[in-house]
Amino acid sequence: MVLWDGGDIMRFKLAAFVVLMVMVVALDVSAQTPRVVRQSGMVRDGAGQPRAGAATLTFGIYAEAEGGAPLWTEVQAVTLDSQGRYAVALGALEPEGLPLALFTSGEARWLGVAVDGGAELPRIALLSVPYALQAADAETVAGKPLSAFVLAGDTTGTGADGLTYVNPKLLQGAVVGVTPLASSGSPGFLGVFTNSTDLGNSIMFQAGTSIGVNTTAPAAAFHAVATAAPGAYFDVYSNTLGALPVVYRAARGTPGAPTAVQTDDILGGLAVRGYGATGFSGGQGQVMFRAAEPWTDAAHGTYLQFTTTPLGSAGWAERMRITPEGNVGLGTTTPGQKLSVAGTIESTTSGFKFPDGTTQTTAATSGETNNAFGTLSLRANTTGSWNAAFGDYSLKANTTGSYNSAFGNASLEGNTTGVYNAAFGYHSLRLNTTGINNAAFGADSLYANTTGNRNAAFGGASLAANTTGTNNAAFGASSLYGNTTGGYNAAFGDSSLVANTIGVSNATFGASSLSDNTTGGYNAALGTWAGHLNTTGTANTYVGYAAGPDAGHVGLTYSAAIGAWAVVTMSNALVLGGVSGTASAVSVGIGTSAPDTTLQVVGDVKVGTAGTNGCLKNFAGTGLVGTCSSDVRLKTNVRPFEPVLDRLVRLRPVHFNWKVEQFPAYHFGAGLNSGLIAQEVEQVFPEMVATDEKGFRTVNYAELPYLTLAAIRELKAENDALRTQLAALAERLARLEKRDRH
């Protein structure tokens, strides 16, 4: 049958047409092979000639002759012979072939074919296939062979006929007519064998989703009742980690879809209840393990909470907490030390023992409202008042100084008349005598200070060597460690300004920032190791990790380096980012958030200070754009260009597009460009061509204006010579014409 698309048969508007011959020559519908329909046809091109070679055919089976969605589709790649013929097996691409339900309804079906993704050709009816498939279905049970089912039998297993059997007695009452093996029992009780064959009630009872032991009214998922103590034993014969008698597991969500516990969720614990006048109480004494953070597979922070109930009350209160860090809080939920107590600590007999092994049982004070704890603390005090000394030798020499606080062994030990000082840490402000308004926090902080005022040191050994320096702030271990008389410095970060001695008005933020500075002043450094090599330089600004001068330029002034690893080696210079070609090099953008070259400006660029001055130069100092220096007094080795006209005209200007996607590292634009070909320039002016770090050639376009000017001069000279020759020829011609007239 020939199928055409449209009315006029000879117009050949089709790209191809197909001659279809549907032949059910072999329909195999057995359980062992897939169900397929053999189909063959012929493909011709738009001129009516047979096609040959590869083609892609799309087959569809429909319930209608026209329109409607296909019930089944399949795409097959075929090879056409010289006559355009092919033969396929529909359904061969699937393990079971054509779906059995496709034809078992008894309704007619139509086949449609499309060639190489083109329009589908008119459909043809399939007549004999449904009957064959229906006949095959009669040999199965709902399309499945008998071997797909389990049959009832006297034995369990595979029978001699190859089919599977099960003994119904094994179902224990699940099959009608089979009696379970039980002689007695009550609903809800879990069964227990009362002898070798019969079942009866156990002591366990299930009510809904709850299990009770010795109770038929469980009040929780598991409820056990004991009339004698102990109510339960847990024997564990292991000392390995995790071998605890009771292990709690907590989660949010559901048993089928658990989710992570969140901060303050209860993970487990112990709660006690008692019977009052009419019933059991709620939990009145508790030990609770709680989550200290939202849990992940790697974060499992916990804290421990202890509660009791006051006398005459029915509401419990938290009494003690152990934090994730191991700090214990009594009366506080936020202990900041290994032991924090919100309340009074009482020692009835033994006093307080300190880390050095000494024990103090009384507070020694002189003057008004002083507190001293520790051997020889405030020993020499006479009239000094409102002082607090905690630790051996703290404020030992104080006589009249007031309003001082010393916490730590030998803190403010040498203070005599200094006031308003605070020293927290071993040997902090130890040598201070008359200095006032100092704050030292950390072992050996402001250790050597004698008369320096208004200093703040936070961190071990911070401002340790300071003697008379004033108005310094040091935050971090060993920050401003070597400072002696320098003032108005601010150092934030471990070892920041550690070597500074007399430098003033420096500000650093970051560990080891300006760490080598000794006498340099008015410097600002932000970032770890920022400006760390500077020693005597002043008025410098360094921002970024290790930004600053190198080892050969430690005394710069008014320099700035911004960016990680940015290096500046010249005074009065600003450097952005690391050195070109290194990992720390940066691209600077003005008007753009994603600069793709060393400097990218989105907008206009203005050069100069007034009038037409201002010049853009290359690295050699040659002016590229603008008004540039060109005085002969500034130049040497001046020589004219060699003749270039003959070579210049050999250069070929071209339009082109960059290979943007192939070379993304060059950040080319996608628009049309103009220029020269470097390889062609190299043949004529090799001195204008160089090779970049990636091996590609570059052209020095800045030379072109000068080469063009030199060529114009050559043209002018040639033109002048031709003018002279032409004038001579005209004069000679005039003489000849005059002679001929006579």
DSSP states along 217-272: S-SSSEEE--SSS----------STT--S------EE-SSSEE---TT-EEEEEEE
pLDDT tens, position by position, 513-545: 999 999 999 999 999 999 999 999 999 999 999
Residue 178's pLDDT band (cuts 50, 70, 90) = very low
With CA atoms as reference, report the closest residue to 295 among 247, 238, 252: 252
- How many CB atoms neighbour CB 128 within 10 A? 11
Closest of 326, 351, 350, 354 to residue 340, by C-alpha = 326
In the chain, the amino acid numbered 458 is F
Coil, helix or strand for 360? strand
CA separation, residue 233 to residues 270, 348, 398 (Å): 16, 41, 64
Better pLDDT: 632 or 19: 632
Give residue 152's pLDDT. Answer: 65
**144 pLDDT tier (thresholds 50, 70, 90):** low
Q: What's the rounded Cα separation, in Å, for the pair 380 and 441?
A: 24
Question: Is residue 473 scored above 70 in pLDDT?
Answer: yes
| Domain residue spans of the chain | 16-137, 262-267+285-344, 613-742
Cα separation, 631 vs 615, in Å, equals 14
Residue 104 predicted with pLDDT over 60? yes
pLDDT reading at 423 higher than 80: yes
> What pLDDT score was predicted for residue 175?
46
Is residue 439 within 8 A of residue 456, CB to CB? The reply is yes
More confident call, 234 vs 676 = 676
pLDDT tens, position by position, 299-329 = 999 999 999 999 999 889 999 999 999 999 9
Q: Are 478 and 492 contacting, i.e. CB atoms less than 8 angstroms apart? A: no
pLDDT digits (tens, 9 = 90+) for 427-457: 888 888 888 999 999 888 888 888 889 999 9
Q: Both tokens of residue 407? A: 């916490």
Residues 557-585, mean pLDDT to the nearest whole number: 91
Confidence of residue 242 (pLDDT cuts 50, 70, 90): low
| Residue whose C-alpha is closest to residue 413's, from 383, 386, 381 | 381
111-120 pLDDT per residue, tens: 899 988 888 8
Instruction: Return mean pLDDT, the chain.
Output: 84
Higher pLDDT, 3 or 279: 279
Q: Which CATH number fits domain 16-137: 2.40.30, 2.60.40, 3.30.1490, 1.10.10?
A: 2.60.40
From CA 117, how far away is CA 111, in angstroms rounded? 16
pLDDT attached to residue 616? 87
- Contacts of residue 346, Cβ cutoff 8 Å, sequence gap at least 6: none
Torsion of CA 626, 631, 632, 637, to 10 degrees: -50
Residues 6+ apart with CB under 8 A from 265: 250, 252, 290, 291
Question: Which segment, 345-349, 384-388, 445-449, 472-476, is predicted with the most confidence on average?
Answer: 472-476
* Burial of 230 per CB tally in 10 Å (0-12, 13-18, 19+): exposed
Structure tokens at 422: 């605070």
pLDDT at 166 over 70: no
Strands (E) in 428-555, as ranges, are 439-441, 456-458, 473-475, 490-492, 507-509, 524-526, 541-543
pLDDT tens string 14-64: 333 444 444 433 344 444 457 788 888 888 887 888 889 999 999 999 989
- Average pLDDT for 630-635: 89
Residues 590-620 have pLDDT tens digits of 999 989 888 888 988 888 877 777 888 888 8
* pLDDT-derived band at 147, boundaries 50, 70, 90: low
Please, are residues 445 and 430 in contact by the beta-carbon 8 Å criterion?
A: no
pLDDT tens, residue by residue, 338-354: 999 998 888 888 777 76
In this prediction, residue 128 carries a pLDDT of: 56
pLDDT at 143 over 60: no
| Residue 22: other Cβ atoms inside 10 A | 20
Q: Supply the pLDDT for residue 717.
A: 92
| 522 CB-side CA count, 13 A | 9
Percent of all residues in the chain with a pLDDT value above 90, rounded to a whole number? 43
**What is the pLDDT, as a whole number, of residue 20?**
45
Query: Coil, helix or strand for 44?
Result: strand
Q: Model-level pTM? A: 0.45
Output phi, psi for 389, to 5 deg. -125, 125
Query: Residue 366: pLDDT above 90?
Result: no
Name which of 153-157, 418-422, 552-556, 662-666 the model is least confident about: 153-157
| pLDDT band for position 712 (cuts 50, 70, 90) | very high
Q: How confident is the model at residue 370 (pLDDT cuts 50, 70, 90)?
A: confident
Decide: residue 480, CB within 10 A, 0-12 exposed, 13-18 middle, 19+ buried. buried
Fold classification of 613-742 is Arc Repressor Mutant, subunit A (1.10.10)
